[in-house]
Amino acid sequence: MNESEDYTPSLVAGLVRFRTRVVATVVAFAVLGAIYALVSWQPQATLSVAVQVSSGVSNQNIDADRATSEVAAQLGSPQVVDAAEEAAGVTIDSVVATWSQGQSTVGVVVTAGSDSAAEAGANALIPAYQQIRSEQNSALLQVQLDAIDASIADIDNSINLTQSQLAAQPPNSAAAADLEAELDILNARRNQLRSDRDAAQVAASAQTVSVSLADGPDQGPGRVSLLLRYVPAAVVLALVLCLAAIAVVERRRPWLSDLDTARRLLGAPVIAVGQRDAAGNQVADDVAPVVAMSLLRAMGDADPGIALVLPRGPVSLGDSAMALADRMQPVLERAGASATILSITTTGRAFVIEGGQVGKEIPGLWNELGSREHFEKAIEGAKLGADVVVLVPVVDVEHEVLLDLVLLADASVVATSLGTDLAPLFALRRDYEALGRRPDGVVLDPDVPAPVA
C-alpha cells in the first residue's frame, strides 16, 4: 500500500493548512505585479501608416518594399520628429517605426510624457513627414531644373556664337553649310532640354509614394490597464506556485485532516474528540470520562491494570496527553479503581504525577518495563497501591522504550491532533503491526480546549 497516496488530503485541505503562507505569497506577488506595472508604464500612442506606390514608380526601379522601408526610416528621423514636436507643441521622447517585408504598412509607436502628448505627437507626425517630403521633392526638382537651365544657357551661348560665325560666311559656301548644320543640332538639343524640363516639372507634380494613416492613433495602455493586467496575472501565478508547492509537500508529508483518517490508519475506533476553539468548529465536553471508561473496559480484570496513553504528533501533545491522564484520575477513582499516573521519559525513567505536577521518581522502574511480572513487583515495592497504572510517555520516547510500553500495557489509546503530520502515526502503526497488537482507540485533540494555533 502506498501510504502517501492513501492519506494525502486534498489541495483544498493543504490550502487551509498553509493559508497564512498562501495569503502572504499572494499578497507579495500582487504587490510585485503592481510595482512592475507602474514601473513599466510609459505614455504611448500607436498608429498604422499606409504606404501606397504609384504605377510609375516601378519605371524608376523603386519597389513597394523599398518605399515602405524609406518611409519607416524617415518617420523616426530627428528631422520629422522635431517638426512634429513643433507642430503639436509637445515633447516627444521617442518614435519607433517598424515594417515587415512584403507589407505596405508601417507600425509606429510614439512615446511622450503623457498619453495626450503622445497622441498629439502621433497626429502631427504624418503631416510633418509629408511637409518635409514635399520640401525635399521641391529641392530635388529645383536642383534638376537648375541643371537643365544651365545646360540650356550653354546651348543658347553656342547658338549665338554659331549664328555670328554664320553671318560672317559667304552665302551658299561650304563653311556656311557646316555652320547651318551645327546650328540645327544645337536647336534640337535645346528643344530636348526644354522638353526634359517640362517633363521634370510634370513628374514632380505627380505623387509617386502616398503616405496616410491606416489606423490610429490610439493611446497605449494606461496605469489602470497595466495594473488590471499584471496584478491578476501575479495573483494567478502565486496561486499556481502555492498549489504546486502544497501538492509536493502534501504528497511527501501527508497530514491528518479528518477523524476517519486516524481511524483507518491505526485500525482503531475514535473514542473521544476534544474541545477546540471557536475557529476549530468541533466543540465537545471533557473527553477524560469517555477515555477513562473505555480503558477500564479494555483492561478487563487485570490487577493492576496498565493503561497507555500514547501521544503522537507535535511536542505539545505530550503535555495535552498528561493533562488528559490527570483529568482521568478522579473519573477512575469514582468508578472504584485507585489510579496512579506515571510519566515515562525518553529513556524510560518513570515519575509519579500528582495533581498535574511531576512528583517523585520510581527508581529502577525503567529496567522493569520489559517484564510484566517485574514491573508489577516494582510498583508494589514503591507502595503505590494502585488498581490502574496510567503510563504517559513523552512524544519522542526512544523506540525500544516505546515497544516495551506497548507490550506492557493491557489497553492503550493514541492521542493525536488534526493537522498533525502523519509520519509519527505511520511509524506507530508499523510498530503495533510488528508486535501483533493494535491500539484500543484514538483520542483527537485531547486538550480541553485545544490550544489556539
**Mean pLDDT, the chain, whole residue set:** 78
Task: DSSP letter for 90, please.
Answer: S
Residue 63 shares a structural domain with residue 21:
no
Residue 151 shares a structural domain with residue 246:
no
pLDDT confidence tier of residue 167, bands split at 50, 70 and 90: confident
Task: DSSP letter for 439, please.
Answer: -
The DSSP annotation for 343-394 comes to EE-TTS-EEEEETTEEEEE-TTGGGGTT-HHHHHHHHHHTT---SEEEEEE-
In a domain, 165, yes or no: yes
**Domain end residue (candidates: 252, 269, 295):** 252
25 CA to centre of own chain? 10
Residue 371 shares a structural domain with residue 268:
yes
344-369: pLDDT as tens digits: 888 888 888 887 788 888 887 777 78
* CB neighbour burial string for 160-182, b if at least 16 within 10 angstroms, e if fewer: eebeeebeeeeeeeeebeebeee
Instruction: Give bridge partners of residue 53 from the DSSP assignment.
Output: 209
Residue 100 shares a structural domain with residue 180:
yes
The answer on pLDDT for 283 being more than 50 is no
Looking from the CA of 339 toward its CB, the CA atoms found within 13 Å total 26
Residue 186 shares a structural domain with residue 289:
no
Residue 268 shares a structural domain with residue 391:
yes
In a domain, 449, yes or no: no
pLDDT confidence tier of residue 2, bands split at 50, 70 and 90: very low
Residue 208 shares a structural domain with residue 285:
no
State residue 59's pLDDT score: 40
Residue 364 shares a structural domain with residue 321:
yes
The domain spanning residue 282 has which CATH number? 3.40.50.300
Question: Listing from the earlier edge strand, what are the strands of the sheet with 209-219?
Answer: 92-98, 105-112, 44-53, 209-219
pLDDT confidence tier of residue 216, bands split at 50, 70 and 90: low
- For residue 453, the one-letter residue type is A
Nearest Cα to 309, choosing from 385, 383, 410, 378?
410
Number of Cβ atoms within 10 Å of the Cβ of 190: 18
Q: Which domain holds residue 238?
A: 3-41+223-252
Distance between first and last Cα of the chain = 32
Nearest Cα to 121, choosing from 79, 77, 83, 90?
90
In a domain, 450, yes or no: no
The answer on pLDDT for 125 being more than 80 is no
Residue 149 shares a structural domain with residue 185:
yes
Residue 248 shares a structural domain with residue 352:
no
- For residue 365, the one-letter residue type is L
pTM above 0.85, yes or no: no
In a domain, 92, yes or no: yes
State residue 203's pLDDT score: 65
Cell numbers 500612442: residue: 45
Looking from the CA of 330 toward its CB, the CA atoms found within 13 Å total 5
Residue 373 shares a structural domain with residue 439:
yes
State residue 247's pLDDT score: 82
Residue 372 shares a structural domain with residue 230:
no
Number of domains within the chain: 3
